[in-house]
A and B are shown apart, each in its own frame.
Chain A
Amino acid sequence: MLRYLLGVTRLDKIRNEQMRGTVKVEQFGDKAREARLRWFGHNHNVWHNASVYNKPFVESFEETPLLVAVLTYMGYGILTLFGYLRDFLRDWNFEKCHVAKERDEQKDFVPLYQDFENFYTRNLYMRIRDNWNRPICSVPGARMDVMERVTHDYNWTFKHTGTVLFDVINMGSYNYLGFAENSGLCANAAVEAAMKYGLGVCGTRHEIGNLDKHEELEKLVARFLGVESSMVFGMGFATNSMNIPTLAGKGCLILSDELNHASLVLGARLSGSTIRVFKHNNMQSLEKLLRDAIVHGQPRTHRPWKKILILVEGIYSMEGSIVRLPEVIALKKKYKAYLYLDEAHSIGALGPGGRGVVDYFGLDPCDVDIMMGTFTKSFGAAGGYIGGNKELIDYLRTHSHSAIYATSMSPPVAQQIITSMKCIMGEDGTTLGQERLCQLSKNTTYFRRRLQEMGFIIYGNNDSPVVPLMLYMPAKIGAFGREMLKRNIGTVVVGFPATPIIESRARFCVSAAHTKEMLDTALNAISEVGDLLQLKYSRHAWPSDEETNHFSYLDSHQD
């Protein structure tokens, strides 16, 4: 009776549910989230601030199991003790010292090799060093050839045996769309460009190093991204580290994500601005920092900041997470800050048209002030670009350090990018680009789903082609790399200092060039190695039919 008077009838309830279904408003209250946390031990971030997202944003960062964390610390403790023992033996000349040591004359100065990083390098990294810097002798496509190495003095020196491991499945190269190939359209076009222009440019962009190929490439990149104008640089790292100082300076504030890449951190530090760090992908932390910045202004004088620049990445390569771009843009507009988006891993890999994370969320490219990216990952070339409105790019052309001092991009590399970009956009007349984008998306979904079903802990968003698989224990880092190579699969394992000390991981990069058979072979090998090394730490099983069931269980409790 009361509900009828208030105008809330059964029809309203049905309409509300339909509305909730189409707009996908937060259906799970705090209680359901707590229940999920208790059962699964991790935060499955569905429907967070869902009104700005047009598709589910599913990320998972499962918590480290307590026993595994304790055992990892114990393992590191034991290895540290042995490290002290070896350092003692080296110091007292009981064994030969292979590392750099200070000379006797330098004893009274500040010690150079005593900090933890050097200790770690000498005693832990060296023991499993054969998993990194493996020389390959073919194009890094879906399969590659790895040169075999042996070491007779426990990884201090290596010798090549002369044998080559052929057709190793490549799960480590950033070859998202499979453009790393030595035959085909792109390679032929690059060869023609090399025949016409040669290989070296012998100059910077300001001097006689500005080719018509660069102009053509810049117009094409601007068209691809949907911005007014763009500029290309010869090196991706240098694009960040040399251009952020041009854009920000003293009196500016840079808000940078916790897990930003070294190039962004270096560029921010070189600029001389104040840097504040917000928690990874955490919009509450970013908003708090923005509010504090605007309310309090600069540290001592309380003058307003000249500009506030937010540095984020499209896909974070160590976590596999995608930035919450709609929320960042909403915050940026509200507080009148500028946004610098580094799409090194996401350009070409995300979005229905391959245009990156902006395309993935269906947003307007004009909302992002500075769109930066690299050509290394999806285009099979080298170099970086910055896109934005014409005034910004004209300013960069005159003031960027990279344009004045660094050599410009080599012509065959520029031609490779032009051909591959036209292929992705579909302008070369074939459907190859669209096929590759679909293949990458299918491969990513399949690979991630199968790994989660097997019981591994996988970090990151369900749509990101970078797949980190957690290993945790120091001995398992070395064991995993070696066992995978024995089964003819090349993987990249990562430990400290690129990741927090107990969260070491193996990072797989899915490619459009991988066929389903290759992925199946790789997955079987990963499962085998996972059983051998006991890596299946995940505390909940994800068989494929049960996944839909448990979401519907939570659905039925919504009202």
Chain B
Amino acid sequence: MDVKNMREYMGWLYYQYLLITGIYVLEPWEKSIFNTVLFTMVAMVVYTSYVFVPIHIWCNFETRLKKKDKYYLICHLPKCTYRLLELSLIF
């Protein structure tokens, strides 16, 4: 019973997603294209956050702990990320 309610609720959520983005009016192949593109982008965001967020949190923590102001003495991240991290440390 709960599974059935869950499935109905998920169906209703999908219907809301179709209505809000406007894909409800499109033909099925167009819906598939949009869903694929959106799913790919979301998957890339999830993968990047999975890989990089823990190490960024750890590096920030270590920097504050050891009171060193240079992030790159603790972590071994590519150079471009240091520039971005320095910017974020201002805030």
**A interface residues with partner B (beta carbon < 8 Å):** 71, 74-76, 78-79, 82, 85, 124, 127-128, 154, 473-476, 478-479, 532-534
**Alpha-carbon distance A82/B24, docked complex (angstroms):** 12
Which residues of B1-56 have CB atoms within 8 Å of chain A's CB atoms? 12, 15-16, 18-27, 30, 34
Residue from the set B19, B24, B25, B27 with the largest chain A CB neighbour count within 10 Å: B25
**Alpha-carbon distance A127/B22, docked complex (angstroms):** 11
B19 partner residues in chain A, CB cutoff 8 A:
473, 475-476, 479, 533-534
**Alpha-carbon distance A534/B21, docked complex (angstroms):** 14
**Alpha-carbon distance A533/B12, docked complex (angstroms):** 9
CB distance from A60 to the nearest CB of B (A): 26
A475-B23 CB under 8 A given contacts A78-B34, A82-B30 = yes
Select A479's contact among B21, B24, B27, B34, beta carbons within 8 Å. Answer: B24
B18 partner residues in chain A, CB cutoff 8 A:
475
- Asked if B16 and A534 make an inter-chain contact with CB atoms under 8 angstroms apart, the answer reads yes
Select B21's contact among A78, A85, A128, A532, beta carbons within 8 Å. Answer: A78
CB distance from B8 to the nearest CB of A (A): 12
**Alpha-carbon distance A154/B28, docked complex (angstroms):** 11
A71 partner residues in chain B, CB cutoff 8 A:
20
Name which residue of chain B comes closest to A534, CB basis.
B16
A82-B16 CB under 8 A given contacts A74-B21, A75-B21 = no
26 contacts between A and B (CB under 8 A): A74-B22, A75-B20, A75-B21, A75-B22, A78-B21, A78-B22, A78-B34, A79-B22, A79-B25, A82-B26, A82-B34, A127-B26, A128-B25, A154-B27, A473-B20, A474-B22, A474-B25, A475-B21, A475-B22, A475-B23, A475-B24, A476-B19, A532-B12, A532-B15, A534-B16, A534-B19
Name which residue of chain B comes closest to A68, CB basis.
B20
**Alpha-carbon distance A319/B26, docked complex (angstroms):** 29
**B interface residues with partner A (beta carbon < 8 Å):** 12, 15-16, 18-27, 30, 34
The binding surface of chain A is classed by DSSP as: helix
A-B pairs under 8 A by CB, number: 47
**Alpha-carbon distance A76/B20, docked complex (angstroms):** 10
CB distance from A75 to the nearest CB of B (A): 3
B20 partner residues in chain A, CB cutoff 8 A:
71, 74-75, 473, 475
CB distance from B34 to the nearest CB of A (A): 7
- What 20 additional pairs, Cβ within 8 angstroms, besides A78-B21, A154-B27? A71-B20, A74-B20, A74-B21, A74-B22, A75-B21, A75-B22, A79-B25, A82-B26, A82-B34, A127-B26, A128-B25, A473-B19, A473-B22, A474-B22, A475-B18, A475-B21, A475-B25, A478-B24, A479-B24, A533-B19
A76 partner residues in chain B, CB cutoff 8 A:
22
CB distance from B42 to the nearest CB of A (A): 16
B25 partner residues in chain A, CB cutoff 8 A:
79, 124, 127-128, 474-475, 478
**Alpha-carbon distance A378/B16, docked complex (angstroms):** 39
**Alpha-carbon distance A186/B39, docked complex (angstroms):** 62
**Alpha-carbon distance A85/B31, docked complex (angstroms):** 13
Name which residue of chain A comes closest to B28, CB basis.
A154
